Amino acid sequence: MDILLVEDDDTIAEPLETGLERDGFRVNRVATGAAALQAGAPEFVLLDLGLPDMDGADVCRELRARGDVPIIVITARSDEIDRVVLLELGADDYVVKPFGFRELTARIHAVARRSQHRADTGALVAIGELEIDGRTRRVLLRGEEITLTPKEFDLLAFLASDPGAVFTRQDILESVWDAHWYGPTKTLDVHVAALRKKLIDGGWIETVRGVGFRLAVPDR
């Protein structure tokens, strides 16, 4: 797999590049946001936020606008607002410095596996005024298309697989993220909040206290 490594700190990038290549990855390392955006179409992106020429969040936003390339953000920022913003921008996962190399490679494999095996059955699910097209990965609400990140689409499609059924938090994390999810469970709440905002009417996704979530047509 070809990995675009966007990191300007040689003390981090050089051993990371060496380790990834030793594990069989092909690494293209760049040190600026501009170079990352000019690097073509990578299969996977490891993106540092603290770049010398632009904010890594802007790079993440632009890469996500171009397609569904898996993105793991590498950040020294550990406060919650940064994590929320990154996930809403479309990052698939993130690691906070300092991090262990084996943890990072485990996350790379997990994100790549989820990306490769995303459900694309071609089924069109219609629930009231909401339409979810698994073939084109498009969502329409009252005939208007809603732009979702890949993970937001996967979450909505999973809940829509059985409208009204209650899915536990663990069910959702294992099915939409990974059975060995390393990230915080807060990630699920972030994505649910983002979906509710984009669906305009928060009643589409109901919280079942102490259990999980379900998709239901809002009362009108």
Greatest mean pLDDT among 42-51, 93-102, 116-125, 184-193 lies in: 42-51
- Across 99-113, b (16+ Cβ under 10 Å) vs e yields eeeeebeebbebbbe
User: What token pair was written down for 161?
Assistant: 């697989």
Q: How buried is 155 (Cβ within 10 angstroms: 0-12 exposed, 13-18 middle, 19+ buried)?
A: buried
- The better pLDDT of the pair 218, 67 is held by 67
Q: Are strands 44-48 and 2-6 parallel, antiparallel or unpaired?
A: parallel
- Lowest-pLDDT range of 6-15, 168-177, 186-195, 196-205: 168-177
The H or E element containing residue 166 is none
- 34-43 own/partner pairs: CB under 8 Å, 24+ apart: 35/6, 36/4, 36/6, 36/63, 37/62, 37/63, 39/4, 41/66, 41/67, 41/69, 42/2, 42/3, 42/4, 42/69, 43/1, 43/2, 43/3, 43/69, 43/70
User: What token pair was written down for 41?
Assistant: 């179409």
Residue 178 has pLDDT above 70, yes or no: no
Q: Which pLDDT does position 128 carry in this prediction?
A: 86
Residue 185 has pLDDT above 80, yes or no: no
For the chain, the structural domain boundaries read 2-116, 124-215
Taking CA 191 as the corner, what is the angle to CA 201 and CA 154, rounded to the nearest 5 degrees? 95
Contact 68, 46 (CB under 8 A): no
Which of 212, 161, 23 minimizes the C-alpha distance to 46? 23
Q: Measured on CA atoms in the order 122, 127, 132, 133, is the torsion positive or negative?
A: positive
In which band, very low, low, confident or very high, does the pLDDT at 36 lie, cut at 50, 70 and 90? very high
- The better pLDDT of the pair 37, 113 is held by 37
pLDDT in tens, 151-176: 899 899 989 988 888 998 888 887 78
> What architecture (CATH level 2) is domain 124-215?
Orthogonal Bundle (1.10)
Residue 103: φ, ψ to 5°: -65, -45
Task: Name the β-bridge partners of 207.
Answer: 213
Task: Name the β-bridge partners of 215.
Answer: 205
Q: Which pLDDT does position 121 carry in this prediction?
A: 47
The top-level CATH class assigned to 2-116 is alpha beta
% of the chain surpassing 70 pLDDT:
85
Alpha-carbon gap, residue 56 to 173, rounded angstroms: 26
